[in-house]
Amino acid sequence: MIHGEPSFGGSQMIRRGLCDDQFARVENLLPGRPGYVGRDSELGNRLFVDAVIWKFRTGVPWRDMPTRFGAWKNIHTRFSRWAIKGVWQSLFKTLADDPDNEYAMIDATIVRAHQHSAGARKKKGVNQAIGRSRGGLTTKIHMIVDALGNPLAFTLTAGQVHDITQAETLTSQVQPEALLADKGYDADAYIASLRARAIQPVIPPKANRKNKRDCDVALYRERNLRPPDLNEFAMTPIRRSSAVLCRERPSRCS
């Protein structure tokens, strides 16, 4: 359990880190060698991962990181290096390796970009997945999860991009028995591709659809009982490191 300095109404805010069994699942996937700083020292990977979780749970600027985690700039530099090396991506793939394929659920959510994202220097050939929508500068996270709500795959696009554009890309990475989605995914081509792969589409038809089709309403209700928690995903650093790296700049941390 991580105890944060910020308080609300005189009460201290409590932010949770990883339990021992949770960290044990990812410990050997993290950079470093046993016996060296970075793996099992007091300032090693466990404290660093807790620091990153605390930072994105609370939403504080890097400069406001509590001193017990170490120097904020070192934490930010290490976080960025891990993102560039694909450490966070590797963790995501490993933790998503054993899905419950009874059915899958797909959806998307919008994340506000950092206030300084528009002023960052553009790099050729780098898609920062930032666009302008009604909420201002935003990134859209498209994600597919298994029957237990565990993330299986995700993509990042600009905030104004429609959900259906990433449906084929995400669905091609899984093989569930059925796919649950809202009306935004009711497209003939997508429905046909699901059926061609023997995946039952559980997608309510749009009101203006000329050729009505059946939808398993009872199964669709499972989407409301266990929805893809995309906002939780967006705030979990191990899973959203690519999105964060697109919008955070060391020189612009306030």
The pLDDT score that the predictor gives to residue 22 is 78
The pLDDT score that the predictor gives to residue 235 is 39
Token duo for residue 147: 């029957």
Q: What is the total residue count of the chain?
A: 254
> Which residues are within 8 A (CB) of 146 and not within 5 positions of it... i.e. 6 or more apart?
99, 100, 101, 102, 103, 104, 152, 174, 176
Q: What is the pLDDT along the chain (254 residues), one digit of tens a residue?
A: 444 454 445 444 445 577 788 788 888 888 876 555 454 445 578 888 888 888 888 888 899 999 888 889 999 999 999 989 988 888 888 877 778 889 999 999 888 877 666 666 666 666 778 887 777 888 899 999 998 888 888 899 988 999 999 999 999 999 999 999 999 999 999 999 999 999 999 999 998 888 888 899 889 888 875 545 555 544 343 333 333 333 444 433 33
Exposed e or buried b per residue across 37-48, where buried means at least 16 C-beta atoms within 10 angstroms of its C-beta: eebeeeebbbbb
* Cross-strand bridge partners of residue 131: 138
Q: H or E segment at 43?
A: none
251 burial type by CB count under 10 A (0-12 exposed, 13-18 middle, 19+ buried) = exposed
Structural domains of the chain sorted by starting position, each given as residue range(s) with its CATH number in brackets: 2-85 (no CATH), 104-247 (3.30.420)
Do 206 and 188 contact (CB within 8 A), yes or no? no
Token duo for residue 164: 């259906």
Task: Round to whole Å and give the CA distance between 29 and 226.
Answer: 29
The pLDDT score that the predictor gives to residue 253 is 39
The pLDDT score that the predictor gives to residue 13 is 46
35: left (phi over 0), alpha (psi -120 to 50) or beta: left
* Cross-strand bridge partners of residue 133: 136
- In the block, residue with structure tokens 């910020």: 6
Do 84 and 246 contact (CB within 8 A), yes or no? no
Helix (H, G, I), strand (E, B) or coil at 178: strand
